[in-house]
Structures are given as C-alpha cells and as structure tokens.
A = this chain, B = another copy of it.
Amino acid sequence: MRSVMVQIPNTPTSADVARLAGVSRATVSYVLNNTSAVRISEPTRRRVHEAARELGYVPHAAARSLRAGHSRMVLMPAPAVPVGPLYSRFLDELQQALGHLDYTVVQYGTVGLHGDEAARAWAELRPVAVLVPGAELGPRGVAVLKRSGARAVVTLGPVRVDGAHALLMDHDAVGRCAGAHLHAAGRRRIGVVVPKEPGLEAYSRPRLAGVREAVHGTDAAVTELPLAYTEQAAAQLAARCRELNLDAVFAYNDEYAMLLMRALQDEGLRIPEDMAVIGADDLMLGRLLRPRLSTVHIELPSGHDLAELVDRAVRDPGGEPEVHAVLGASVIRRESS
C-alpha cells in the first residue's frame, strides 16, 4: 500500500543538510563556517552549499551560542518614550558602528519590568554587552548582568553606576547653560518648565537643577513650572507666568518652548521684550518660529566612539570602568532671548 504523506516542513537542521549532501554534520559545519583549520575538498563544499541552499537551511543562533559559550549580541532596552531625532540619530549611528564591529544590536522590549527585574530578563539572553540609557539600572542590576556573562555594561545617563562603564550625560549642564545665559541677559525671575509627561523626569529634574545652580548666589529667583503637553495647560501656564511676573522661561526643550511661546504670545506678552524664552535640543522647528527660538544645543557622543568603548570593554572585561562626560551643551542665541 502506497502512503502519500504531506511533508510537514520541519525546520531543517545541519543534520538534514549533512544527510542530503551525503556527509557528516561536522563537515557541514566546517564548510558553512569556512573553518580555516580544516581543508575540505571543493566537490564536497559544493555539495554542502547546494544542499543548504536547497533546504533553505538557516543556522540556529541559540544552539550556536550555547555551544560557543558566548554571543555577539549587544542588548539595549527599547526606549519607552518617544525619542527625539537627536537620540534617534545617535542610536542609528551606534547600531551602524557596532554592526561594523560584527556585533548584533538588539533592543529588548522591557515592558513593565523595572530595575533588577529588568536586568534579570536581559541577563537571560546572555548578551555580551548591555547598554542602558537613563537611570534604570542600579549596581545590583549591573552585578546580575556581569555574573551572567555580560563582558561590558555601559550606562548612558546622569550618574555613574558601580561596576559599569559610564557615558555621563549630565543634563544639569543643559540647565546651567540656559540659566547662565538668561541671567547674563539680565533676567532675574526665571521660570523653568518641567513636563508632566511621565518618563521625562530623568532629564527634566537635572535641567531644572542646572538652572538653580547657574543662578545660585545671585539675586535671581527660579520658579518650577509643571506643564502638560496640551494647548490648554499651556494657556493656563502662560497666564500664571504673567501673574508671577516672570521675565524669562527655560522651557525644557524646543517642543515645550514652542507650545509655551504660542501661549505667551496669545496672552499678549511680547517675546523677548516682556519674556525671554529658551528651549533645548536645537530642533529645526526652533529656527522656524517667529521670533526664532534660542536654544541649548546638545552634543551627544558619536555612536562610533561608544561602539569602540563597547568593543574595548568586551575585549578587556577586567579593565577599570571608563567614565566619560559626554554631553556638550552650548547656547544658540536667536531672537527669543
């Protein structure tokens, strides 16, 4: 009796390739990895390649790295908040550079996990390096990752974390720049916008603190201005600014600055005569506003440099953690201040 079976296309393994090519699994591995320590005859190579192509063979990364005892995966938590063009470009450059060094960048969708929970989840993937923006990771998280074989842990954030390399992106500097600029321009009653949107505190608190530092010991006063990203909230805040008799506002970034500037103008305040406004991030939109928006230009590290730091750290896991201050901030004065 002839039995016709529907062939369920099981994912082909190297054993299948070996069978089809009439060789051993070892040979398949040698051929497909171009192992230089071993010479395989040209006919055999061809047969193996042919078989692999025919079956649509794709090696199993997990099996490979399990056997190898390590991977080339660089893990980053996927950003939860919409990320600006600045940071996007930085990320892209970083991925490019790491890819060039033969690493694979993977952004892990860390959903509800926080702190050490998250670190544990990341550690399960046994990445060779972990890059963590923000201040999500503590020393214990770093320890977990290192114990699980991460040869480099790099934080990109406001503070250094024990045991990890650090790219110090101190947003204080942004606030200091803005504060110093406004003070030098003769402003003395300075408001600082602090977004109400969650997830931005890591940046907004230091920026506020920076302004405070900049005018510390002078006769200038700093007022914290919480603001949700809506027109209505902006209108209310504009009215409040007038009541408070402020003469300057550092608006967190250019987007919030645009929002607030519009509201201030609608409130009848002249910019910059009655009220100086300065943003941050040097986005294109600031140049398009009227008056043109002054801003704090932020210089992020080159993705290329970070990639090389990662590579160094991976090659020499015992080395002292490197700490680099990498956030350049400088005022671009336009017309609004």
User: What are 22 inter-chain pairs, A to B, with CB distance below 8 A?
Assistant: A9-B146, A11-B148, A56-B144, A58-B123, A60-B66, A61-B125, A61-B126, A62-B62, A62-B63, A66-B66, A78-B95, A81-B88, A82-B83, A82-B88, A100-B111, A104-B109, A106-B106, A229-B284, A231-B288, A258-B288, A259-B284, A262-B288
The 4 closest A-B pairs by CB, nearest first: A105-B109, A99-B111, A82-B88, A62-B62
Given A61-B124, A66-B62, A144-B58, also A11-B149 (CB < 8 A): yes
Number of copies: 2
Which B residues lie within 8 Å of A284 (CB)? 229, 231, 255, 259
> Could you tell me if B109 and A59 are in contact, using CB atoms closer than 8 angstroms?
no
Contacts of A63 in B (CB 8 A): 62, 66
- Cα–Cα distance between A100 and B109 once the two chains are bound (Å): 12
Contact with B along A145-172 (1 / 0, CB 8 A): 0111100000000000000000000000
Asked whether any CB of chain B lies closer than 8 Å to the CB of A92, the reply is: yes
Say whether A304 faces chain B, with CB atoms less than 8 Å apart: no
From known contacts A82-B85, A147-B12, infer whether A104 and B108 are also in contact, taking CB-CB under 8 Å: yes
CB-nearest residue of chain B to A143: B56
Please determine whether B109 and A107 come into contact, CB atoms closer than 8 angstroms: yes
Q: Which residues of B contact A78 (CB under 8 A)?
A: 95, 105, 107
Does A89 sit within 8 A of B, measured CB to CB? yes
Residues of A within 8 A of B (CB-CB), count: 58
Q: In the assembled complex, which residues on chain B have CB atoms less than 8 Å from the CB atom of A109? A: 95, 98-99, 104-107
Asked if A96 is at the interface of the complex by the 8 Å CB criterion, the answer is yes
Q: Is A285 an interface residue (CB 8 A)?
A: yes
| Residues of chain A in range 258-315 having any CB-CB distance to chain B below 8 Å | 258-259, 262, 284-285, 287-288
Q: In angstroms, how far is the closest chain B Cβ from the Cβ of A12? A: 7
Q: Is A112 an interface residue (CB 8 A)?
A: yes
Q: Which of A71, A82, A104 has the most CB of B within 10 A?
A: A82
Is A120 on the interface with B (CB-CB < 8 A)?
yes
Any B CB within 8 A of the CB of A65: yes
Given contacts A56-B144, A107-B107, 19 further A-B contacts (CB under 8 A): A9-B146, A56-B143, A58-B123, A58-B124, A58-B144, A58-B148, A61-B124, A62-B65, A62-B126, A66-B66, A78-B95, A78-B105, A82-B88, A83-B88, A95-B111, A99-B112, A104-B121, A105-B111, A231-B288
